[in-house]
């Protein structure tokens, strides 16, 4: 399929051929859900931890008499019933990561790209280069493009001036091609790819 290429000033800059095997796939919500869950699970630190009975400082001497005390029989001050005691079955340090086949991950990225094409939310730029890093100048260009909530994906490296200018704008992110992922694509309304990004993505997903 063909798509129009524009400049940052919203002027026409020709056309580009998009691979139907990457940008023309049917919608698969189940695949997108699996990839997003995998991404978010992998992102979790898993450093939550509470003390077990073996780690709490406390007496192990019998508390009170076995009988006749009028209360429950306790043989340790480390149990969860007492203040400062351990928590029963609390969280421990662990990895939350789950496994997902590479083919499913690749299919998820293709499906996310295709969903933006299908909804008309894909914009292709000739390049994302700026001569200065002024946020005000970039905002005027984004107004011309009609972009207020978007993910920009550039080539192997993001233009430094563009990155600095964009860092002060809410709801707009920028990533190099190797950082393109399903979660960040779906969480933004528009997806803006440079020609270099399209070529790199096709090479990566072919």
Q: What confidence tier does 63 reach under pLDDT thresholds 50, 70, 90?
A: confident
CATH of the domain at 195: 3.40.1370.10
Considering its fold, how many domains does the chain have in total? 2
**pLDDT per residue as tens digits for the range 72-87:** 888 899 999 999 999 9
Judge whether 45 and 180 are in contact, CB under 8 Å: no
74 and 37 part of one domain = no
The residue segments making up the domain with residue 177 are 2-44+97-205
pLDDT surpassing 90 at residue 177: yes
Kind plus residue range of the DSSP H or E element containing 112: helix 102-118
> From CA 156, how far away is CA 145, in angstroms rounded?
23
Q: Which residue has the tokens 């009609």?
A: 146
The residue-averaged pLDDT of 176-197 equals 96
d(CA 190, CA 74): 62
> What rounded mean pLDDT belongs to the chain?
93
The arithmetic mean of pLDDT across residues 102-110, rounded, is 97
In the prediction, which pLDDT does 153 show? 96
Average pLDDT over residues 143-150: 93
């Amino acid at each position: 399929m063909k798509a129009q290429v524009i400049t940052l000033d919203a002027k026409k800059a020709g056309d580009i051929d998009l691979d139907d095997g990457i940008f023309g796939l049917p919608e698969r919500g189940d695949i997108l859900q699996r990839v997003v869950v995998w991404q978010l699970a992998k992102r979790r630190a898993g450093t939550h931890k509470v003390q077990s009975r073996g780690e709490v400082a406390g007496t192990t001497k019998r508390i009170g008499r076995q009988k006749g005390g009028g209360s429950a029989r306790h043989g340790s001050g480390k149990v969860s019933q007492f203040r400062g005691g351990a928590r029963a079955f609390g969280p421990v340090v662990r990895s939350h990561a789950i496994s997902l086949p590479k083919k499913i991950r690749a299919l998820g990225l293709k499906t996310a790209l295709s969903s933006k094409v299908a909804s008309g939310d894909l914009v292709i730029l000739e390049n994302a280069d700026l001569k200065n890093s002024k946020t005000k100048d970039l905002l005027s260009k984004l107004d011309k493009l009609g972009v207020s909530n978007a993910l920009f994906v550039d080539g192997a490296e993001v233009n430094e001036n563009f990155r600095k200018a964009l860092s002060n704008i809410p709801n707009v992110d920028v990533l190099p091609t190797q950082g393109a992922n399903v979660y960040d694509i779906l969480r933004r309304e528009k997806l803006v790819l440079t020609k270099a990004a399209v070529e790199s993505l096709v090479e990566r997903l072919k």
